[in-house]
Amino acid sequence: MAGAAQTIGHVLREAVAHHGQRIALVDARGAITYAQLWQRALRAAAVFRGIGVVHGDRVAIWLPNSVQWVEAALGIALIGATIVPVSTRLKGNEAAYILSKSGARVLLAPTAFLGQDYLAMLQGEPLPALEARLRTDFGGSGAWEQALAAVTTEAAEAVAGDLDRVGPADIAEIIFTSGTTGFPKGVMLRHEQVVSVYSVWADGIGLVAGDRYLISAPMFHSFGFKAGVFVSILKGATMYPVQTFDAAETLDTIEREKITVTGGPPTIFTSLLQMNKAAGRDISSLRSVATGASMVSPDLIRALQRDVGVEIVVNAYGLTEASALCTMTAASDPVEVIALTAGKPIKGIELRCVGKDGAVAATGEEGEIQVRGHNVMAGYFDEPQETAAMFTADGWMMTGDIGVVDAAGNLSVTDRLKDMFIVGGFNCYPAEIEKIMLTHPQVREVGVIGVPDDRLGEVGKAFVVTAPGAAFDTQAFIAWCREHMANFKVPRFVEVVDALPRNAMGKMQKFILRARR
């Protein structure tokens, strides 16, 4: 299918042609077929068109996993606008930066989610480009639902013609990631990249028509939208979106719906297996499991194979700037390869490790991981200098990660140059977190690192130098952090120190902080 279709919208149209009466998505309100999903996407596109959205405009989605997320994203793609995912874990100031930087004209947000009014969090934030703010109640009475219901058949059919004016090189998504500067940057991904990269992913996890895919990874993340929603459409699988992960509910859903495919960080599967020792659910329908973000315990893979009967377990490595996928293991790989490496480069890309001397590292030697190929971003949105700084003179993208390629061609990621740490599958960038913390009136200096955690893999620890005379309370500071940043960024530990270790040039020496953690 993907050989002919090179945009998200064309892939959807082909899915309707091949799987029109097959179930596309199931949620608490029922099931919808691929033919019905196509109509919902057309209506979503017509709503955006009616607001004035045109080819190349940015439309932001600030929602948890839901049919509303899916139909909105597909509607945006159908008319050649650009999807801007916004994490539901962000606070108002964090989301406002993304909305402002992207110049999003329209925002779709929930009336309420987990007791939070998302649009209320944006009150007072200067967002001159944002012309429309739509709410969904995930039912039938929100402004989004009312707008969809008001779309005429003629209006929906009219936007279908827009699809053929969307090209493979058009920007499908601007997904924001942070970095060493502390300012989130918008990674631009083309339609053709989404199609080509995730066609490889779909084949690698063994996805086929009729599979039932439980999507618990957030759709604002590549693992949820591209590796979940898009690949399901690509292959004609059925999507089961999960708004908030709960191990007991997940076990129940897997058993009741006979889920065959799912994905997420290793911590999710560890939790599921531990709980199921007592729950005794029949989850033997699971055939394929995809994970990543960190090394996986060989014992976890063996338990999935032995106790559940999982046939395919896939591990992978990627970064947002490379469409979130550079390497992946194969279903036929031994357990140790799947657990302890990220596999080989995916089809169509080149990968190398480069030493400090600038020479390509020999087999088994460490070096910075660099990639080149169809997975590499079109660039950072409105950041030409930041984009240029990511590439070598001969076109290799520098990932900032350190790795080793073994004799079989498998990559092992051994370190991160950029100090990033991963909390339960979510990337945390110390510079971004530190920037927010420095706005606290009692904080003079701060250094953030990741420390090991049995449940989440890593959590944050902050070393704080307080302002002179400040009566600093660590628990109150953690509570303040919860109000000003996404929960996964909030440090679980805070240590007050007299000074932060710095070198002769004044640069913070994070390796010393890690040694004393």
Handedness of CA 47, 51, 56, 61 (dihedral sign): negative
The pLDDT, as a whole number, for residue 192 is 97
Q: Which helix (H) or strand (E) holds 144?
A: helix 143-150
- The model's confidence at residue 149, banded by pLDDT at 50, 70 and 90, is very high
> What's the whole-model pTM score?
0.85
Among 262-276, 459-473, 502-516, name the one with the lowest average pLDDT: 502-516
Q: Give the pLDDT mean for 371-398.
A: 96
Beta strand pairing call for 58-61 and 344-345: unpaired
Strands 344-345 and 132-136: unpaired
**What digits encode the pLDDT tens for the residues 253-291?**
999 999 999 998 887 888 899 899 899 999 999 999 998
Q: Nearest to residue 206, comparing CAs of 46, 314, 284? A: 314
Question: Which domains does the chain possess?
Answer: 8-244 (3.40.50.12780), 315-416 (2.30.38.10), 423-515 (3.30.300.30)
Q: Which residue from 82, 141, 153 is spatially nearest to 110, judged by alpha carbons?
A: 141
Sequence-ordered strand ranges (E) for 17-92:
23-27, 30-33, 58-61, 82-85
Q: What distance in Å separates the CA atoms of residue 96 and residue 88, rounded to the nearest whole number?
A: 12
Q: What is the pLDDT of residues 66-111, one digit of tens each?
A: 999 999 999 999 999 999 999 998 999 999 999 999 999 999 999 9
CA–CA dist 345, 391 (Å, integer): 19
In the predicted model, what is the mean pLDDT of residues 155-181?
89
Which tokens in the block code for residue 269? 């599967």
Q: What is the DSSP string of 82-129?
A: EEEE--TT--HHHHHHHHHHHT-SEEEEES-BTTB-TGGGGTT---TT
Give the helix ranges, DSSP H, for 182-246.
191-204, 231-235
Q: What is the pLDDT of residue 411?
A: 95
